[in-house]
Structure formats: C-alpha cells, structure tokens
Structure 1
Amino acid sequence: MASQSGSRNTHLDIPDFRLPTQRHHLDLPAPPQQLISTTDSQGPTVWSRQLDSEPDCSPSYLVISGGTGCNAICAAFARACYVLPVSDDGGSSSEIIRVLGGPSIGDIRSRLVRLIPHAPPGTPLNALRTLLAHRLPSGDHAELAAREEWRSVVEGRSSLWVGIPEDRKETIRGTGWRFLVYFENEILRRAHKNFSFVNGSIGNFLLAAAQSFFRSLSSAIFLFSSITNSRANIVPVISTNHTVTIAAELTNGTHLVGQCEISHPIPRPRSLTYEDEHEYMSSLSFDTISPTMGNQRNVFFGAESKNSFEKLRASISRLYYINAYGHEIFPVPNPEYVSGLGSHEVLVYSCGSLWTSIIPCLALRGVASAIALSPTLRAKVLFLNAKNDRETEGYTAVDYILAIARTLNARYQVEPYGLGPDNAATTYPVSTFVTHLVYLRGCAVHLDAGLIRELGVNCVEVESDARGADDIPLYDVACTKRAVELALGGSSC
C-alpha cells in the first residue's frame, strides 16, 4: 500500500503487487526503483520500492537479443525495450508448439523471469519468481514424475504455491481466468498427441495459456508482467498467433530448417550416412502441420551443447522464414518494433547467437530503413561474442558486421515484375547499421581494427572480470555499462 508518511517519496510495498499503468509497449519505463527496508516499532521489517526523486537521464535502449545471451547484462540497460524472436523450436517450447501450435514463447519467458524485480527470500514476489522459473523433472524416465508434479501444481497442492497471495494463485491456476487449468484443458483436448511434461517450464505453460486464451502474445506478456510487478518492456519481433519457422541456406546450397537444427541439432540416428542426409533432413523438415516438429518431441539441449557442437557442412549465407509447406515467406515486423527504432537513443545488437537470435529480428521488411533513417538513434552498438559457436565458426569480427549489413540490405518481399522507382532497392552503407563494435579484451574472435574502421565502425574495447569455464572473458553489467558510455562519448580504437 502507498505510504501515508510525511516523506516526499512514494513507497510501493512488494506484497501489494499493484498493476502498472497500462501503456503502449514501447513507452519508456518509469525511473528505476531501489529496495529499501523500514522497521515499524510494532511490526516486522517492511520491504518496499522507493521511486527515485531525481529524473533518470540514462539513454533509452532498444535491445535486439535472444533468450539467454543477454540475460546476464540486462541490468546494464536502465530504460530498455527488448525485441526478441519467436522462432525458437527447442527445449520445452518444442513440445508446446508440437501440441498446441502458436509462436515460441521460451525466450520471452526467460527474459520476463529475469526482469522480475529482486525481492528478499520469503516475500510473495520471490515465491512467484520461484514458481514461474521452475521446471518439472527431466531425464530419460521422468515422464511419470513430471506428470505427477504437474498435477500437484495445477491442483494447487504443490509447495511452490507457498507464500503466493491467493488472488495471484487463483489468477495463475484456479478460478476466474485459471490459466494453468486452461492449459491443462487444452492439452486434454489434444490427448492423442501425448503431451510430454518432462522438463516443462511452469512459466512457459502460463505464457502459452495466456497467449492462447487472449489470442495475443502481447497481452500474455502484459499479464505476466502485471502478476510479477515487473516493468519489463518486451516486444515479440513478429506479432502473430501462429508458429514461426526460420531456415538457413548454406554456402554449399544446402538448407537447415528450424532454430534447433541450425544452432544445436539433436543427435541423429546412428545409421545416418552423408549420402542419406538430404533424405533425412527432408523427413524432418517439411511437415504440413509444422515444418520443424515432425516426430521430434521435447527437444532438449544444455549450455554445454554449444561448446561441443557438430560443425556445419558449410557456413551460413542467409537466414529466411518459411511457412508450413517449406516455402519462403516475407513476414512483416511488429509495428511496435519499427516505431521503437524511431524513438530510442541506442540500438544494441546483443551478444548471443548471431544467426538464430539477432538475424531473425533483422530479416524482415522495413527494418533496414527504420534503422538507417532513425531520427533518434545516437549509436548502433554490436556486442561481439567472446568466442564463436556452431553458427559462426571461423568468423572474424568483420564477418559479424558484414552478416548484419548483408541481411539488412537484402530484399524481403516477392520480387515485382518490371523496373521503376517503386521497385528500386536501396543499399545502405555498413555504418548506417553499426556505428560501434564492442569487444572484450582477451576474446577469442579475431579482430582487425583497421579494416573495421574502413567500414566506418568504431571499436570499443572493454575489460571484464567475469570468466567462463574455458577462461574466456564474459560480458557483465559493469563492462557493458562502460562500453555504452565509451560509445556515446565517441571513443574509438
């Protein structure tokens, strides 16, 4: 409840969970809040959020990223809109898509959970975070255990509900909107598809149920944010209620279908030979219901899979979208994404998977001109990965920059007949898309600063104390903030 003391500051108690004022998704969020504690002489310590009295002069960011690549540095962006792809077909999202259809919500759920405000243990907000971040049992023989735990959650018996206020519990689970019960009903209606709950994310189930109920992913995001007292500003790159599938064309002319197959493919049959690959890929990919699902169920992969990846037969030349019949299509970006490019000050291409996290947000109609001609963007900053992965093996820093520029300068529409001004394609210089390249000192990706400068791009080197298991540096909040400060200050290598 709002404090009635004589203080000029306004206090919002975390347990109150009041809904944020409804607003357009790309409006700038309110100034950051700090957790403070006050002790009543007749009661326990009360944790609340104190609105900053000073205006926040930090720049506004539009951050293009995937689900996990940017999670560790979100705190560096005080006022940010996050644009995320909806084409991930791995993890428990694959099972939701296989049975219920709809866009992928796994990356969005990951970011929503990350942006839940911090709260002390034992508070309702912390209990909500624990519930929505929880995954059901996983493993080769975990189906019965996963189903039993799911039943305890949906019936309200699970210990995960302890500490969650009754109104939030019933909004998520029971009467009224009853989203988890709604999800259960939708699964039962498709019982012949044998939905697997193994490794299922409760947050994914809530978001998928809300998207299906409202027929709007944006509305589902708003509900999730409201329940968790979050000011997260997240925009799906494509506004759709249908499954979205990406494909990659390799330089040798072959194609890979689906994010999972491009980035971290599941193990193939032991008997598969190189000559059988085309036939095998065809059987996996072009299903008239969903081009990436086929017979795949609950596609699992862990962080370690990207460190022990199977090499691509050739490098990726382009990424494109396809429909359920395997035909290339040209989707329109979410209008909120395009308008955001014309209202924010810093565009960030986040660290993460280049071809399956960043490029899907660029290979869309009108995005190139929105970036190149934006009247507000002061800097367009690419955070270079510290090391290459399966998608970018052998890449130099220049290759990352050119992949972005080449994608944005491509045409995303059915080629018209004839010539004329209406059919002319505009090619923008590299520097209209990327103004700064941020890289970590000691990174494993080769960088030619002179060649990058010739492209009109400034280099910004930062040092990080964070290290991965292989001792390669990782981005953290401090070095990310420093990098943006240097970019906006005009520093270059």
Structure 2
Amino acid sequence: MNFSKPKGIVVFSGGSAANNLVDVFKTVRENKKCPLSYVIPISDNGGSSSELIRVFGGPGIGDVRSRLVRLIPDDPDHDDSEKAALKGFFNHRLPKSRIDAKQEWLQIVEADHVLWLNISTAKKELIRSVLNMINFEIVKRLRPSSTFDFSSASIGNLFLTGGRLFTGSFESAIYLLSSICSVPSHTSVVPAINTNFTHHISAGLANNTTITGQNSISHPSEVTALENTSNAVPSEHEETEYHDGIEDANLPGSLPTLRKQYISFSKADEEELPARICRIWYINPFGQEIRLAANPRVLDVLMNAQAVIYSIGSLYTSLVPSLILKGVGQALANPSIRYKILILNSTNDRETGPSTAPFSAIDFIAAVAKAGAESRGLRGEVGKNEYKAYVTHLIHLQGPGTPRVEKDVLDKLGIETIRVYGRKVEGEGFVGYDEKALVQALEVTMGRGEKRAEKSRRNTLEG
C-alpha cells in the first residue's frame, strides 16, 4: 500500500480579495484530500499596520491576520458561538476618533467590553495576556515626540504583534493565533518572508519614475501627520531631519515616505498611475534595492505541490512581492508542479491600468513570468515561450470591464484558457466569480470531473 502524503495546493494571494475565494479553495482541497497552503506577502505599510510598523518595526501583518481569521471553520450543524465571537474579536477595528479608540482599547484590555462575550475563560485570559503585554510595550515606548495612535487599529493586528514581540518569532505568533482560531492543521498560512524586520517595496513605471512603499503603489492614502507645525512643504532633507527627531522603530536617515502614518485610505477612491508598472523590487530603509530570500517554508510547500494557484487580487502588491523572492522562481519553474493556474482578476485596478493601456491576460502572465525570472536573478523581458514554465492554465471571466484574453496567442504558447461565467456584483458595474463555477473550473483543470455545465446554470464553464 502507498502511504505517501498527497501533494498539496499552494495559493499565492494577498488579503481581502482572495478572502472571498477561501471557500472555493477549501472545497477543492477537500475533494483532492491534500494539504493547502496560503503564501501571503508582508510588505504592506498602509492602514493601521503603518502605525505598528512605525512604533515596533516588524513585517506588515494585516493580510496574514485577515486570512487566519477567515479560516476559522464554520460548522453549519453546530451553534458554535465562540468561533463567531473570535472572528468578530480579531476582525474588530477601533473607532476612527483617536480619543474614542484609546478608550475602547482600555475597555478591551481590562476585559470590560462586549467583544469578550462567548469567548471561554481559558482563551480570554490567554488573549488578554498578549494584549496587555502589547499595551505595556506601547506605554514603555511613549515619548513626547511620539505616542501610539489607536485610530482604526485592528485588534487582531495588535494581538499578532504582541505575540511576535513575546515569542521573538513571527511564525510562533501565527501558530498561536491559528491555534486559538482552530485553523485546521491541513491548511496553513505561510508568510512570504519569516522576519522580525520591516521590508518595503518600490515600483518602477514605464515613464522611468519610481514609487516607494506598497501603500503609495496600490492605494495612496492621506498622510496622518504626527505634528502639523507648518503649512509649508518641507524639503526632503528637512523632512528627514524632522522624522529623525521622532523616537520610533525607524533608523535615522531612512526615507520619510516609509516612516509616515498611513492610517486612513480608501480603496474605492484611486487615481490612475501615470504609466504602467514595469517592475517591483525590495528596498532597505534608505531606498536602496536589496534581494531577499523566501521563507524556507514557502520553498518546502512548493517542493511538495501538485498545483500552484495565483489568486485574484492586486497583481503587483499581492502576488509579485512573493514571487520575486530568491528560491521561488526556481521552485515554480519545476516541471513537477503540473498545474500553475492564474485566476484572472474580473477587472483592472490602479496597478493594472491606466485606462489608456489596460492589462490584458497576457500582460498578467508576463508579469508573473518576469517576477519568477527575477527571483532567479534574470533581469529583463522574458520570452513568451518561457511563460508556460510559470503559468500553465488561465481561468477567466467574460463580461463588462473584464481584461481581454488573447486565447489564440495563449493556445500557441501551450497555456490553456478556461472561461467561466460569473455573477453580477450588486451595486458594481462588473461581474465576479461564482463559487460553484470556479470550483468546477479548478477541478476540471486539476483532473477531477468532466467539462460539463450544471443543469441549473447555462454555459457555466467553457474550455
């Protein structure tokens, strides 16, 4: 008898967009009876994470937290009020008002808040001990030039940061939150880089300009000033000196744009980039390019993968930061991974515009291939004949605003295209993926089932 462990499925994704497909990947994993791993980037420096990074350093943890909490199992046959309470607790955000946020935070750490209802005493005191520790660290770091801003802070992000500081290990903090949330052992959340340091990215545009910091690349937000002393726009030298006078986790002389608070932003209100993004790279705090190695666990799950899925989300800030890490490109190009599936976004966003030159399917695939090549130390454009080393299948929608798919070109490159019919997103002018149709497409691609349309849905799937 063969008792070898089945090869797994590895999903590259960011946070919010791919969270909508977690049930899809769960169903495919159950049917394949194999492990499932999510590889999540840690370069986000926007939202409440920016304040944690400013004061404590460390990786951007928001996407890791959101995936772990999304993986709390739902059992429709049992009324598990604690799991629902934990999901609400770790997803909870404090008020936008700085004063109200601080008051609510104290209610939580003092166990005088409705969020604690239905959480067992054992878990409550474990969670509270970590939150009280991070609260102590916040008070300890209080300086006249720098106080922690709890505005819109995520309780889950504060917990993960506290766990990392307490154990000295990002992986241990993830394990602790996974255990509390009862994330199944067959499903893992793997940070692209296992680190206690902050790692930022820059983007190079086709017009030779550079954008520094993930937040500025994906959805620029209103800068939250620590102290508004003048309406005059300071020079870069003056701004650097100003930030050097603030006692926080940043190195003196590091780039001001990486040291600011970016607590408030809107993903819906985005200006177009002036030109296409051509390349993403990691930088040190002074803006110099560096090459970083992937978390060894990422390479382990890729070595034992039957399929890799590039999920929907921001192409250049959710997918590419994981793909350019040393070791990842070589692992992806390994022919032992039979299925390398790109689920194409249902619409173009700020990163894959501008409207004058929107990305098509082959542009998405080229970006993935180029990132894989850069991971291997190969700079420059990648020949189309090499695309199949990184992407073997493309799943896509067709409808208003969907990226153009060059089926004939992709067929010649040996990349199979599978079209699924989605559903209209209420209140939006585009279509989204239907869960049943996407499960069917993935299972057809990976060798389970036949190409067929469900009786209740006309033309669900086309190869």
TM-score band (shorter)?
Answer: 0.7 to 0.9
Q: For the Cα contact (< 8 Å) 1:122–1:163, is it kept in 2?
A: no
CA 1:267 to 1:300, structure 2 compared with 1: closer, same or farther past 3 Å? closer
Q: Partners in 1 of 2:387 and 2:362 — Cα distance? A: 11
Q: CA deviation at 1:267?
A: 4.3
Q: Partners in 2 of 1:319 and 1:202 — Cα distance? A: 30
Q: Partners in 1 of 2:194 and 2:325 — Cα distance? A: 12
Q: CA deviation at 1:476?
A: 3.7
Could you tell me which residue of structure 2 aligns to residue 488 of structure 1?
Answer: 446
Could you tell me which residue of structure 2 aligns to residue 475 of structure 1?
Answer: 433
1:64 to 12, 19, 29: 12
1:219-234 correspondence to structure 2 within 5 Å? 219-231=172-184, 232-234=187-189
Query: Is 1:388 the counterpart of 2:345 in the alignment?
Result: no
CA 1:278 to 1:481, structure 2 compared with 1: closer, same or farther past 3 Å? farther
1:423-434 correspondence to structure 2 within 5 Å? 429-434=386-391
1:259 to 204, 214, 220: 214
Q: Partners in 2 of 1:294 and 1:405 — Cα distance? A: 28
Could you tell me which residue of structure 1 aligns to residue 104 of structure 2?
Answer: 149
Could you tell me which residue of structure 2 aligns to residue 406 of structure 1?
Answer: 370
Q: CA deviation at 1:469?
A: 2.7
Q: For the Cα contact (< 8 Å) 2:45–2:60, is it kept in 1?
A: yes
Q: Partner amino acid for 2:138? A: I
Could you tell me which residue of structure 1 aligns to residue 49 of structure 2?
Answer: 93
1:239-254 correspondence to structure 2 within 5 Å? 239-254=194-209
Q: Partners in 2 of 1:110 and 1:293 — Cα distance? A: 25
Unaligned runs of 5+ in 1: 1-26, 29-56, 270-275, 416-424
Q: Partners in 2 of 1:122 and 1:450 — Cα distance? A: 50
Query: Is 1:117 the counterpart of 2:78 in the alignment?
Result: no
Could you tell me which residue of structure 1 aligns to residue 300 of structure 2?
Answer: 339
Query: Is 1:379 the counterpart of 2:343 in the alignment?
Result: no
Q: For residues 131-177 of structure 1, give each alpha carbon's deviation from its aligned partner in whole angstroms, at most 9, with x where no partner exists.
A: 11111111xxx11111000000001111111111111011010xxxx
Could you tell me which residue of structure 2 aligns to residue 312 of structure 1?
Answer: 273
Q: For residues 174-220 of structure 1, give each alpha carbon's deviation from its aligned partner in whole angstroms, at most 9, with x where no partner exists.
A: xxxx1001110111111122111111111111111101111211111
Q: CA deviation at 1:455?
A: 2.3
CA 1:122 to 1:333, structure 2 compared with 1: closer, same or farther past 3 Å? closer
Q: For the Cα contact (< 8 Å) 1:179–1:206, is it kept in 2?
A: yes
Q: For residues 370-416 of structure 1, give each alpha carbon's deviation from its aligned partner in whole angstroms, at most 9, with x where no partner exists.
A: 111152x221000111110111001111110111111211266599x
Q: Partners in 1 of 2:191 and 2:443 — Cα distance? A: 27
Q: For residues 227-254 of structure 1, give each alpha carbon's deviation from its aligned partner in whole angstroms, at most 9, with x where no partner exists.
A: 1111240000011110010111111211
1:459 to 406, 413, 417: 417
TM (normalized to structure 2)?
0.82
Could you tell me which residue of structure 1 aligns to residue 113 of structure 2?
Answer: 158
Indicate the larger mover: 439-448 or 318-327.
Answer: 439-448
1:13-52 correspondence to structure 2 within 5 Å? none
Q: CA deviation at 1:314?
A: 1.6
1:296 to 235, 247, 260: 260
Q: Partners in 1 of 2:412 and 2:422 — Cα distance? A: 27
Q: Please give the secondary structure, in 2, of the residue aligned with 1:229.
A: coil
Could you tell me which residue of structure 2 aligns to residue 84 of structure 1?
Answer: 40
1:151-300 correspondence to structure 2 within 5 Å? 151-173=106-128, 178-192=129-143, 193-231=146-184, 232-267=187-222, 288=251, 291=255, 294=258, 296-300=260-264
Could you tell me which residue of structure 1 aligns to residue 228 of structure 2?
Answer: none
1:102 to 44, 58, 82: 58
CA-atom RMSD, angstroms? 3.0
Q: Partners in 2 of 1:414 and 1:480 — Cα distance? A: 34
Q: For the Cα contact (< 8 Å) 1:285–1:294, is it kept in 2?
A: no
Q: Partners in 2 of 1:328 and 1:67 — Cα distance? A: 25
Unaligned runs of 5+ in 2: 30-35, 225-232, 245-249, 452-461
1:354-373 correspondence to structure 2 within 5 Å? 354-373=315-334
CA 1:69 to 1:277, structure 2 compared with 1: closer, same or farther past 3 Å? farther
Q: Partner amino acid for 2:154? A: S
Q: CA deviation at 1:451?
A: 1.3
Q: Partners in 2 of 1:333 and 1:347 — Cα distance? A: 16
Q: For the Cα contact (< 8 Å) 2:222–2:264, is it kept in 1?
A: no
Q: Please give the secondary structure, in 1, of the residue aligned with 2:53.
A: helix
Q: CA deviation at 1:277?
A: 12
Q: Please give the secondary structure, in 2, of the residue aligned with 1:451.
A: helix
Percent identity for Structure 1 against Structure 2: 37
TM (normalized to structure 1)?
0.77
